[in-house]
Structure 1
Amino acid sequence: MTERNTTRRRFLRASAATVVTAALPATATAAETGWTVAETPTGNTLYDVEYTDDGAYAVGAGGVAIRRTPDGWRKVFDGGVTGNGNSLYGADVTDDGKQIWMVGSSGAVGAYDVETGTLYNHSKPTGSTNNFNDVSVTGPAGEANVYVAGDSGKIYYSFENGASQTWNYVTPGSGSALSAIDFYDVKSGHVVDTNQTVFQTTDGVSYDNIGIADANVNFYGVDSDARDDVWVSGGGGMVFHWDGANWTPTDLGDAGLRDIEVTDDDRDGFTVGGGGKVFDLTDAKWTQDATPTGQNLKAVVRGDTNVAVGAGGVVVEN
């Protein structure tokens, strides 16, 4: 995922490196930390959330998409990209904030124009009907480079805005499912798989393995801010940071952390996960925020209002 309205974006080459244990019990109440539950028009699990020029959008099970308005969250559409109910698992926004791209089950790929209300269907790239878990887009609406990661272990990419016949694919690793993908530049970014591996690219086509040795947890989220500035969240409450030479792991407890968003200066951010867990990075120190939900959180985005989404259609805001 890529944040908007803020910034856009030694553990493992030396396996004997020390794991930092940074999780602190949440001592403040949810009211004191500022997180509140918002009313939403869906009970479907929400898997991703992004800021556009038209506010925050969230997508989820059954192909639902909802938008944050001055009057609360409102449904934009349901039924998915093609109206057949395919769930939407990942989303990202063009650099100008005008289109939100989304991907999901059975090869679903689409783009929604927040200015015109038009939903474009780009499903089944190269004929693939695999489940797609995440998407990253770079460039403006109508001219985007699109990168789609899914269960097949392949990255499907188009350098021509997802137009038919412009898609190709690459398998960066062993074929293990790809959990998350994020790009910090036009053709430069990172992707993580379920085989405890992080890959990087600087041309959008070829990928290099940069770790993480001996991680021993599944990877769920990635925030790619530069070639030498990458954050990964995973199982067992683990967060990893890459500085271009080494991975530094931090243990935040036992919750599976499904998503992570950190500012480019590595000073502030959030990671979220199971049981309504939110961990807050402030001045480069992680602490746990109390939240008013026990639902599993799937994604978080930073903005004028920070938003996390998850199971049961839950939305929490700060």
Structure 2
Amino acid sequence: MSRTRRAFLAGAAGTVAALAGCSTGSEPRRGWVTVDSPTGAALHDVVMTEEGPVAVGGGGTVVHRADGEEWSTVDDDGPADAANGLSAVAATDDGQHVWFVGSSGAVGRLNLADGDVRDYSAPGGKTSTWEAVTVIGPAREERVFVANGSGELLVAALNGREATWEGPRKPTGGNNAIALDDADGVVFLASQNAVARRANGQWNRVDAPGASITDVAAVSGSVFDAVTDSGGISSYNGHNWLRAADAEKSLAAVDRVGGRGLAVGDGVVRILTNGRWRDDDGPDASLHGVALGTARFADVAVGTEGTIAERF
């Protein structure tokens, strides 16, 4: 899972009190609230943008919450109207373009300014399931990284609407790719047993911290967190793995921005405050994706049967 909107989130970190749509009457709501969802399809990932969160899931579903609005469906059958399930989503640094990937080679791009959805599916003739995506740069000049279950990585350079694809490469040695993220221009590609880091055009591999990785979140160009199927949260400091926390249940997704962090899984939510991970009283649902909020938008977690929960 990728959260490539850190450039604008960094400026909003620590200013999340005045959130849009988080009050009823004059009394603000606090904690996690399960909100009305426009879909019953499973939602697999979510990304935060300057224009609000965007989540993707089963059957090509794409949903968005604009400032001051309820969640609504942007697209109900995905790129090329093929109804292929979507597994991951990421945004450009300015949050104007949102990219999503999924089964049967599905690759699409949503322009939040006008709602236009473009189809870039089957790049390089690849029609397997894309498991992960991350994006570097602003809209119309972005570089898009997509990875599939065979560990193949393709990279697209955008010039206006045209995409030129490079690859494939296998930075994790061909192991199943499960997550991509980036920070400070550095890309991280995770498989279950390793994380590959790309800086200055070179890939370097770091073995997993003793359990199967399920997601990664970049903190900086050298530091990243990983969550595992055993419920562990570990941080790689550029030299070594440090065990940060353990949970009783598997964790599926993690997001980090500065000193803030959220991790979610099957009926479990963990929050990073004051440098420590602790349990949070989240929704009793199987959660697949999470995105930290901004001054205008709440933290968001998504999961099965269209579940959308927001934390104010």
TM-score range (shorter-chain normalised) is 0.7 to 0.9
For 1:7-156, list aligned pairs within 5 A. 7=10, 34-69=31-66, 70-156=68-154
- Mean CA deviation greater in 94-103 or 160-169: 160-169
The residue type equivalent to 2:175 in the other structure is S
Alignment equivalent of 1:273, drawn from 240, 257, 265: 265
Give secondary structure in 1 for the equivalent of 2:56: strand
Counterpart contact for 2:79–2:119, Cα < 8 Å = yes
What is the aligned counterpart of 1:209 among 198, 202, 205?
A: 205
Most deviating of 253-262 and 236-245: 253-262
CA distance in 2, matches of 1:185, 1:285: 24
Name the SS of the counterpart of 2:172 in structure 1.
coil
Alpha-carbon distance between aligned partners in 1 of 2:146 and 2:11, rounded to the nearest angstrom? 19
Give the Cα–Cα distance (whole angstroms) in 1 for the partners of residues 178 and 70 of structure 2: 30
Alpha-carbon distance in structure 1 between the residues aligned to 2:109 and 2:241? 34
**TM-superposed deviation, 1:33:** 6.3
Q: For the residues of structure 2 that align with 1:33 and 1:241, how far apart are their CA atoms?
A: 29
Contact 1:102 1:135 in 2 (8 A): yes
Cα distance in 2, alignment partners of residues 288 and 33 from structure 1: 16
Q: 2:190 aligns with which of 192, 195, 215?
A: 192
Tell me the alpha carbon deviations over residues 53-79 of structure 1, each in whole angstroms, 9 at most, x when there is no partner.
321111101100111132311111111
The answer to whether the 8 Å contact 2:45/2:87 transfers is: yes
Cα distance change on mapping 1:228 and 1:185 into 2, 3 Å: closer
Q: In the TM superposition, what is the alpha-carbon distance from 1:226 to its structure 2 partner? A: 2.2
Is 1:282 the counterpart of 2:273? The answer is yes
Q: In the alignment, is the contact (CA less than 8 A) between 2:172 and 2:195 conserved in 1?
A: no
Shift of 1:218: 1.6
Matching residue's letter, 1:311? T
Name the SS of the counterpart of 2:80 in structure 1. coil
Secondary structure of the corresponding residue to residue 305 of structure 2: helix
Q: Which runs of 5+ in 1 are unaligned?
A: 10-30
More deviation, 85-94/293-302:
293-302
Unpaired runs of 5+ in structure 2? 13-27
CA contact (8 A) 1:87 1:105 kept: yes
Partner of 1:256: 250
Matched residue, 1:166: 165
Local SS of the residue matching 2:59: helix
Quick one: which amino acid aligns to residue 31 of structure 2?
G
Q: Counterparts of 2:87 and 2:308 in 1: how far apart (Å)? A: 16
Bigger mean CA offset, 136-145 vs 67-76: 67-76
Distance between the aligned counterparts of 1:168 and 1:95, measured in 2? 23
Shift of 1:238: 0.8
Instruction: Determine if contact 2:158/2:164 at 8 Å carries over to the other structure.
Output: no
1:134 counterpart SS class: strand
Quick one: distance in 1 between partners of 2:149 and 2:300?
Answer: 27
Q: CA RMSD in A?
A: 2.0
User: Is the Cα contact below 8 Å between 1:33 and 1:290 reproduced in 2?
Assistant: no
Q: Secondary structure at the match of 2:150?
A: coil
Q: Which residue in the other structure is 1:309 paired with?
A: 302
CA distance in 2, matches of 1:178, 1:245: 22
Cα shift at 1:303: 1.3
Task: Calculate the TM-score normalised by the size of structure 1.
Answer: 0.85
User: Cα offset for 1:185?
Assistant: 3.2
SS in 1 for 2:219: strand
Deviation at 1:92, TM superposition (A): 0.6
Partner AA of 1:181 in structure 2: L
**CA–CA separation in structure 2 for the residues paired with 1:105 and 1:229:** 30
SS of corresponding position for 2:226: strand
Whole-angstrom distance in 1 between the partners of 2:286 and 2:131: 17
Identity of aligned residues (%): 29
Following superposition, the deviation at residue 164 of structure 1 comes to: 4.8
How many residue pairs are counted as aligned between the two chains?
Answer: 288
How many Å separate the matches in 2 of 1:251 and 1:287? 8
Q: Residues 39 and 73 of structure 1 are in contact (CA less than 8 Å); yes or no, is this contact kept in structure 2? A: yes
Structure-1 separation of matches of 2:200 and 2:234: 24
